[in-house]
Amino acid sequence: MIEAVDLFCGAGGLSAGLKRAGVRVRAGYDLEEACRYAFEYNIGASFVAADVARVSGSQLTQWYSNHAVKLLAGCAPCQPFSTYNQGRDTRDDRKWPLLYQFARLISEVRPELVTMENVPDVTRHDVYRDFVEELKSAGYAIWANPVACIDYGLPQQRRRHVLLASRLGLIELIPPTHQGKPVTVAEAIAGLPRIEAGQVCPNDPLHRSASLSETNMARIRHSRPGGSWREWPEQLRAACHRKSSGNTYPSVYGRMAWDEPAPTMTTLCYGFGNGRFGHPEQNRAISLREAAILQSFPRDYRFSPPDSRIEFRPIGRMIGNAVPVRLGEVIGESLKLHVHRYG
């Protein structure tokens, strides 16, 4: 049996996928206390609110059973490596050392299996290259490549860099399951109840849409699926888009298309003006529930206690920062096949 400890676990996207694949998740570590309820309720494992830099290998080792195949997962925050930070000096970002801390814990725990995922640009940085060299020096076989998540059934144009490492033998990700036949927005969310901008579905408090100003309501009414603000009447265009510099961002204030995968979900995916996050036909941005489903979370996944107030920003962060559940499942299936081959 593979048993996992999930570092930087967030709301549990990776763990939910590993669990679906049959991996036993023992614990998750994250600095954000707000993620505790989602992780413990949905994963059924312990959540430890802690800075990974202050965690020791012996603390992690206690979670594993004596005869388990140990998996240590560490999907460190991607902000320092993201293209969204192009042009900004991120060398002093406090998240930089986290990949080094992950490497330290691997050397202390000596798990049979390791996985991490991050933005594709992570490979351009010395911290990633140092991480890979440490794994190789410790005797791990490594598979590390960019992954187009639509090729594995995620209804979203998300690209990630995935690394699998093993001390058992050669390892690789399973072949694509949906190459050439992507899951569309319609297949993912068309069946949800209709709601208006600013409304909440009475049967699902997470199926709520942000309010729109009078101007943004006019804008979304003039938006077609797959179109852009360039097609709006001149008076509806934002001042920044009337400048030449603003022409490089055609996807903001955009609608998704029913017959295509969604764009990459971000932490602000509930906002119409933050990307192509307009609903394909209803005059509103996608709801938090729709965003979670496009991240492949189950439709009944809970991000906060039933009696708590749901706020867009913290829940949006949990959803946008999550490893898609489907990608976690693919990683779990790959690891199980690998252990079966070498176990």
Domain count of the fold of the chain: 2
Residues 195, 175 within the same domain: no
DSSP 2-53: EEEEEET-TTSHHHHHHHHTT-EEEEEEES-GGGHHHHHHHH-SEEEE--GG
Position 242 scores a pLDDT of 63
Residues 30, 84 within the same domain: yes
Q: DSSP code of 154?
A: -
Over its length of 343 residues, how does the chain's per-residue pLDDT go in tens digits? 999 999 999 999 999 999 999 999 999 999 999 999 999 999 999 999 999 999 999 999 999 999 999 999 998 885 554 444 444 444 444 455 799 999 999 999 999 999 999 999 999 999 999 999 999 999 999 999 999 999 999 999 999 999 999 999 999 999 999 999 999 999 999 999 999 999 999 999 999 999 999 999 999 998 999 888 888 888 898 777 666 655 555 667 899 999 999 999 999 999 999 999 999 999 999 999 999 999 999 999 999 999 899 999 999 999 999 999 999 999 999 999 999 999 7
78 is catalytic: yes
Residue 317 located in a structural domain: no
Residues 195, 118 within the same domain: no
Residues 64, 141 within the same domain: yes
Position 230 scores a pLDDT of 84
Residues 122, 216 within the same domain: no
d(CA 282, CA 300): 22
Position 90 scores a pLDDT of 44
CATH number, domain with residue 122: 3.40.50.150
Residues 16, 138 within the same domain: yes
Residue 89 located in a structural domain: yes
Position 61 scores a pLDDT of 98
d(CA 174, CA 334): 5
Residues 66, 158 within the same domain: yes
Residue 62 located in a structural domain: yes
Domain that holds residue 169: 2-180+322-342
Position 94 scores a pLDDT of 43
Residues 114, 191 within the same domain: no
Among residues 9, 75, 78, 149, the one annotated as catalytic is 78
Residues 295, 203 within the same domain: yes
Residues 6+ apart with CB under 8 A from 8: 29, 30, 52, 74, 75, 76, 77, 98
